[in-house]
Amino acid sequence: MLMVRKLSKSFNKGTDNEISIFNDFDLDIEKNKCTAIIGPNGCGKSTLLNIISGTISLDKGKIILNGEEISSLKEESRAIHLGRVHQNPSMGVSPSLTILENMSLADKKGENFSLRRLIKKGNMDKYISLLKDLDLGLENKLNTKVKFLSGGQRQSLSLVMAAMKYPNLLLLDEHTAALDPKTSNVVMKKTKELIEKYEITTIMVSHNMKDAIEYSDRVIMLDRGQIILDKPSIQLTEEKLIQIYREKLVQNVA
């Protein structure tokens, strides 16, 4: 469903700080599966998501989504097909707008609209039912400004907003990294429920090996822009993953 072909990307080309992130990189993502991507800091995980979403351009290669090459499309044109949740809880939402306004904006993604005519009464039921699924009582706070919500509530709201238009692909970039462990678990569970309920193909970058195994169908480990492990989650344990991680990284340093 998503194919990355012969992707090459460097930053600061032609300068002393030139850094090659990907070189002829290939990746296939299966439909209706959650693929976790793990790997050390700076190995290119966010860069990959940024290239898929068009936030940054690629040097060479192709990104193909459902048979359509999207690499040359602008970020706005790709956004219709993609949902995204960032690491920072204030990035996916507008803090000074209410929950209802945020959801209405997400609902109107890809359409022209005026803010005054934004909130249609008929859509309220849909928003309330989406929020009820989260079990956080947000359906009773529709007119609360998002800046008054906790990080976990914001990330959950971002998640629903990213998923509500049934994106072809959902991109999660360490979306629970800024949360405390308990809240992170709640948001991860909700994430799994939501992507299973709506059958959304997902790439989940994770900093947490346990989460990567528990909440995905497949785990890919990246190191310096290369896939060094690619296995069904069911064949992995946290211990095994940590062991592989250590071995591979030591090998690469040696």
Ligand X SMILES: Nc1ncnc2c1ncn2[C@@H]1O[C@H](COP(=O)(O)OP(=O)(O)O)[C@@H](O)[C@H]1O
Q: Tell me which residues touch ligand X (CB under 6 A).
A: 11-12, 19, 21, 39, 41-47, 56
Which range of residues in 39-47, 60-68, 97-105, 144-152 is near Mg ion by CB under 5 A? 39-47
CA 222 to chain centroid: 16
Cβ contacts of residue 175 below 8 Å, gap of 6+? 85, 86, 87, 155, 158, 159, 187, 191, 204
The nearer residue to ligand X, 19 or 80, going by C-beta atoms, is: 19
Cα–Cα nearest to 236, from 199, 211, 203, 254 = 211
Provide CB contacts within 8 A for 139, sequence distance 6+: 127, 128, 131, 132
Nearer to Mg ion, 11 or 113 (CB): 11
Among 35, 46, 50, 168, binds Mg ion (CB under 5 A): 46
Q: Give least dist CB 227 to Mg ion, A.
A: 17
**Amino acid in the structure at residue 55:** T
Nearer to Mg ion, 45 or 108 (CB): 45
DSSP 85: E
| CB of 41 or CB of 112, closer to ligand X | 41
Residues across the chain: 254
User: How far apart are CB 7 and ligand X at their closest, in Å?
Assistant: 13
* 206 binds Mg ion per the rule CB under 5 A: no
- State the nearest-atom distance from the C-beta of 126 to Mg ion, in Å: 32
Residues that bind Mg ion (CB under 5 A): 45-46
